[in-house]
Structure 1
């Protein structure tokens, strides 16, 4: 088990799973200065921040509309009380909160390392003592939380980080506070998908069974409950506990303390210390990915070497009552950090939402405002903004002689009612949609009608036999589209051509929405160059046109190549090209996300 210090982080140097701050992300939350965005889901955002003492934190910011629902703030206050009192070995420590803010937030220590999902995807299932240590660590975290009359209710592999010190369970209290499952519902216990009965810690034990089975086999749950679950390569030492944990009736499952006693071989004494000893002896092979450089011109915010000591110290304590904790003060806005009372002034004036303005040595606006003639910097920022946008629509198509006569791809991403990304492949009159906080569930659909001037009706289905798996994942295809656009722009010397109205030539009705896209103003860049060895045509002249909007997001891209001869149907000169039209970045997007009962088990008619 490693106790090495955390790497030094700033806004230019972030862990691989942390995105740079977006334009709508706060500069600071409470006493914490934000460095980047970790995740976004239906409840809000998880942000990486730095405390006044230099240590890193994760700040969960809850959407105002979620927080203002009935009893949510009261439940958040109760969950913060548990976090304040908690000292689990295998959960991050509480750092601060303000549940009365317009957008409530709570902060815990930042735990570096891959999630269980990422580790299994990259390295395969866990084996031997490391697997046993994971099972014990998860049971310890749950047992500690349940002792405070809490329940996680949102466990899945994305909520477990494999740190160098051991497994850490994230987001305790959040699902119960907001009153719904956060993430992939396949991991939820049967009672969480049932008649509205309030789930308890028994649901966490069911999730524990699925998590340990996943860690041992790489198998994800189907969402169905079976009497005899297939355990595959789960070792015999763990199989009986997993079978008991996956029983359909909550009362027939073991408790988390029972799991912990069985896994540590102790029936009394300090079981938290027993888990710490087990991790010290057996937890190996887990490393923290190196941070990567993401952007320049930001003031470094360094993490002190004491952070490693804090992370190591976490392993020394069992979740216990803290008689010195003022629960009411913490829930109302208190912090476990010793904040410098002048830090808010140094960071800039605070607005009504708790976010502060940028300091003077940071960029005050998009590159397009400050240096529109710098085409390379504008293009780089446009790609970054497109990649980190939470919602958008886009229409990509190759064409010959006129747009729309060859393969077209239509993308729509939304965050509401749940995160989803649609890829509509018009030539096959259908496509696929990724659904969930991590876009982990993929369903397929067929379209009727095909005509681009009409919004299609769709039939959704699963593809258990992977007949359409060659389409790939919608997010990978979207990132590939952006790579294609900016690969064209990268080697050419584009010229800034001023402002104007961007073309809108072939956007289908589902992209146009209310029609407000017909006159889009922006900044235009052009380039003319010789494309060598263009198939049978040899060297040809190519023209690039690229537009960005006033905020720096991409609007329009076209690469056009003039060919010999005329098109026999139109009499116009032959040409071919590649075009992408963008819209609705980080705006409300109307996309129907199918409910479970709308998704057929297989493709209709096949």
Structure 2
């Protein structure tokens, strides 16, 4: 039997993948919990990893202080606490406690390690046999309990299902219902993720348990085939498919085919309830066990999961290296953990949506915003770049894929003005890894770390105050921003696709890093065709995708080109994908500075 997820032995010095060390601005305690790491943060609040006085590990959700002072928002948070506390199922996180009256109101739930369903399918492929059945009955068991508590999930998708060592866990079931009847749902926004919503949700019909069962069937379809049932693309395209084009059943095993087909039906009244789907699937599974010698059929998901669950591995917590000077930097990594979080939960609001108190965002609060209409791609791109240039902190990455030129270049950028200006850049190409840390406003205190990219290579920090590449490196970040407006300016045509999941587009080449780092986020999506950048030969296709968040900051720029060049040796075909992933702006960024004792006066003899 696997260990309970809540007993994973992490602490402030050993954190699970995807959990960052706490920053100076983060709370140190919440109620009986010691805060040891940050799981994530969004516009409304943050989620922390905490250890209670009795040693229990929990995920702690808090709201930002200014929202905690809003009686309406606080009442909604209280409703969410009530909803979460009433749901009791083996495939949902346990409720650990809450305090709505604390200076920083908090909600504690079971800490659930493991990849998301999407991440698991991406890494190991589609599920089959007992594991597929375990996922199907586990999700049905969770929805049965959620619906029995009077809750409608409304946003069931692969990113809200964690493949824990003990079985699948459904997250975020308290948030959507807690928003019901508030300003956040009365401004024309939708709650849900295109591609996983029921047809009636696109038409403005209030979500119901039957809507959740449509999403359940879509999830089981995805788990069994590895395909998104309605593909990717703009909201109107996915909506049309959902309402008019049943998914291709090819690849759906017989044991789940009937319930999944019924769940994906257009008529909500004819879809099975969660209890009916659970009963049918467990009976089918039990018959196979009886045939193998079992004495009595079992009709609970826990029995199926106990027998069939396997192949889910969670990395051990990593040791956090702490230094005397400054906070710790943990390189940005994809999170293996999603919890009952505010992150992304309000990302699909209509353009111009009001704030949580029903009023437009107060400019005196320095809340970023793009004033241009979403359809004006050039103006939006320019405003987004201007906001990014003025950010007091940011994290970003640039990388390529699809190239045949050896190891593709990879760059990461980060900057913070607090407690002092620090710029960090990591360049990875071929066998070498070069990190540069610039302290202050100029090149007088530049620390480099150059080493070979081999296993066991140690950090080799050294000062380089005469670094002639200083301006070039800073210009690389600026070039990534300029690239946004240049691409949109050069486009032959630009199409606005509405608010969609970042990275999700039919013509976008999927990239694991983009999927993992942007999971759960959504933004205004633009796409367009570009002129060929090849002087000789004929470019087959050259296009771009751009996402800009509701907060006005850029999120992802993806350019793709296929080309054919005719030469003496015949036709040469190649392709290139370039990604600029803008991960966060004006939120706490922790950058590591090495101890003075770790910094040499000159470069080591590394052979670089």
Aligned to 2:499: 596
Taking structure 1 as reference, are residues 206 and 23 closer, same or farther at Cα in structure 2, changes over 3 Å only? farther
Q: Is the 8 A contact 1:153 1:204 kept in 2?
A: yes
Q: Distance in 2 between matches of 1:271 and 1:60?
A: 40
Shift of 1:134: 0.6
Aligned to 2:552: none
Moved more, 227-236 or 153-162: 227-236
Aligned to 2:278: 260
Write the mapping of 1:173-252 to structure 2, written as runs, cut at 5 A: 173-179=174-180, 184-195=193-204, 197-220=205-228, 221=230, 222=232, 223-224=238-239, 225=242, 226-252=244-270
Aligned to 2:116: 115
Q: Distance in 2 between matches of 1:65 and 1:527?
A: 38
Aligned to 1:588: none
Cα displacement string for residues 47-68 of structure 1 (whole angstroms, at most 9, x for unaligned residues): 1111111010111223356667
Shift of 1:25: 2.2
Cα displacement string for residues 531-576 of structure 1 (whole angstroms, at most 9, x for unaligned residues): 9xxxxxxxxxx99459xxxxxxxxxx9626xxxxxxxxxxxxxxx9
Taking structure 1 as reference, are residues 263 and 13 closer, same or farther at Cα in structure 2, changes over 3 Å only? same
Write the mapping of 1:555-594 to structure 2, written as runs, cut at 5 A: 559=469, 577-580=472-475
SS of the counterpart of 1:114? Answer: coil
Shift of 1:385: 8.3
Aligned to 1:482: 425
Q: Distance in 2 between matches of 1:112 and 1:141?
A: 17
Aligned to 2:454: none
Output the TM-score relative to the length of structure 2.
0.54
Q: Is the 8 A contact 2:283 2:298 kept in 1?
A: no
Write the mapping of 1:427-576 to structure 2, written as runs, cut at 5 A: 478=412, 482-484=425-427, 487-489=433-435, 501-502=441-442, 524-526=444-446, 544=464, 559=469
Taking structure 1 as reference, are residues 478 and 489 closer, same or farther at Cα in structure 2, changes over 3 Å only? closer
Aligned to 2:157: 156
What is the aligned length? 394
Gaps spanning 5+ residues in structure 1: where?
A: 298-362, 369-377, 389-413, 420-442, 457-467, 504-523, 532-541, 547-556, 561-575, 584-591
Cα displacement string for residues 248-293 of structure 1 (whole angstroms, at most 9, x for unaligned residues): 343332211111111111899x999721111111111122221111
Q: Distance in 2 between matches of 1:132 and 1:190?
A: 25
Over alpha carbons, which structure has the higher Rg? 1
Q: Is the 8 A contact 1:229 1:243 kept in 2?
A: no
Output the TM-score relative to the length of structure 1.
0.54
Q: Is the 8 A contact 2:426 2:435 kept in 1?
A: no
RMSD: 4.9
Shift of 1:577: 4.2
Match of 1:279 among 297, 300, 305: 305
Taking structure 1 as reference, are residues 479 and 184 closer, same or farther at Cα in structure 2, changes over 3 Å only? farther
Taking structure 1 as reference, are residues 248 and 38 closer, same or farther at Cα in structure 2, changes over 3 Å only? farther
Q: Distance in 1 between matches of 2:115 and 2:384?
A: 45
Q: Distance in 2 between matches of 1:12 and 1:248?
A: 51
Aligned to 1:45: 46
Q: Is the 8 A contact 2:50 2:57 kept in 1?
A: yes
Gaps spanning 5+ residues in structure 2: where?
A: 233-237, 287-295, 335-342, 349-373, 388-399, 404-408, 415-423, 452-461, 479-487, 489-495, 501-523, 532-542, 544-608
Shift of 1:416: 12
Cα displacement string for residues 419-444 of structure 1 (whole angstroms, at most 9, x for unaligned residues): 9xxxxxxxxxxxxxxxxxxxxxxx99
Write the mapping of 1:338-357 to structure 2, written as runs, cut at 5 A: none
Q: Distance in 1 between matches of 2:311 and 2:384?
A: 55
Q: Is the 8 A contact 1:91 1:141 kept in 2?
A: yes
Q: Distance in 1 between matches of 2:104 and 2:59?
A: 15
Matched, 1:290 2:290: no
Taking structure 1 as reference, are residues 122 and 449 closer, same or farther at Cα in structure 2, changes over 3 Å only? closer
Shift of 1:39: 2.5
Taking structure 1 as reference, are residues 67 and 153 closer, same or farther at Cα in structure 2, changes over 3 Å only? farther
Shift of 1:191: 3.7
SS of the counterpart of 1:162? Answer: strand
Aligned to 2:35: 34
